[in-house]
């Protein structure tokens, strides 16, 4: 193998690896994936920016931190099941928890956090039907 073809071989190999990676990425990142994580990350950004313009960074951070509610998935066996609906399966996704989040909307100090938690529950509920 002379020096001219060796670098071209490496270039072709890297192109093949990149193509395999992209095909794998699109295989695993389907419509459901984009909707679910778009609702978890993109829509809260627009809610924070459009409705809480003066403090949008803080509100967006609260939305992101509300995803800590998913720590209750660690109590399930298996931890992740793509066909399982989170609503009323995990403790912090239960109907009782959702009712508490709803009651929290009526108190000024917990309003944004509870709105973020309810939006998280809505996202997970939508995910049950995708």
User: Domains in the chain: how many in total?
Assistant: 1
Within a domain: residue 99?
Answer: yes
pLDDT, tens digit (0-9, with 9 covering 90-100), for 76-86: 888 888 788 99
d(CA 83, CA 12): 39
Within a domain: residue 14?
Answer: no
Q: Contact 90/125 with Cβ under 8 angstroms?
A: no
Within a domain: residue 75?
Answer: yes
So what's the pLDDT on residue 63?
Answer: 96
Within a domain: residue 114?
Answer: yes
Within a domain: residue 43?
Answer: yes
Within a domain: residue 62?
Answer: yes
d(CA 3, CA 56): 56
Within a domain: residue 9?
Answer: no
Is the pLDDT at 4 greater than 60? The verdict is no
Within a domain: residue 10?
Answer: no
pLDDT, tens digit (0-9, with 9 covering 90-100), for 86-127: 999 999 999 999 999 999 999 999 999 999 999 999 999 998
pLDDT, tens digit (0-9, with 9 covering 90-100), for 14-24: 776 776 666 66
Sign of CA dihedral 112, 114, 76, 31: negative
Domain that holds residue 124: 30-128
Q: CA-CA distances (angstroms) from residue 128 to 41, 78, 124?
A: 18, 17, 6
In this structure, which long-range contacts are made by residues 80-87, counting pairs with CB atoms below 8 Å and at least 24 apart in sequence?
85/124, 85/125, 85/127, 85/128, 86/124, 86/127, 86/128, 87/121, 87/124, 87/125, 87/128
Give the residue with greater pLDDT, 75 vs 14: 75
């Amino acid at each position: 193998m002379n020096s001219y073809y060796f670098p071209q071989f490496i270039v072709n190999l890297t192109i093949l690896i990149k193509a395999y990676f992209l095909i794998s990425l699109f295989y695993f990142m389907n419509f459901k994936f984009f909707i679910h994580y778009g609702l978890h990350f993109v829509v809260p950004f627009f809610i924070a920016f459009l409705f809480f313009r003066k403090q949008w960074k803080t509100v967006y951070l609260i939305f992101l931190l509300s995803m800590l509610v998913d720590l209750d998935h660690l109590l399930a066996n298996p931890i992740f099941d793509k066909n399982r609906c989170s609503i009323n399966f995990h403790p912090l996704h239960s109907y009782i928890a959702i009712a508490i989040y709803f009651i929290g909307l009526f108190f000024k100090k917990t309003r944004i956090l509870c709105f973020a938690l309810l939006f998280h529950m809505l996202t997970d509920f939508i995910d049950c039907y995708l």
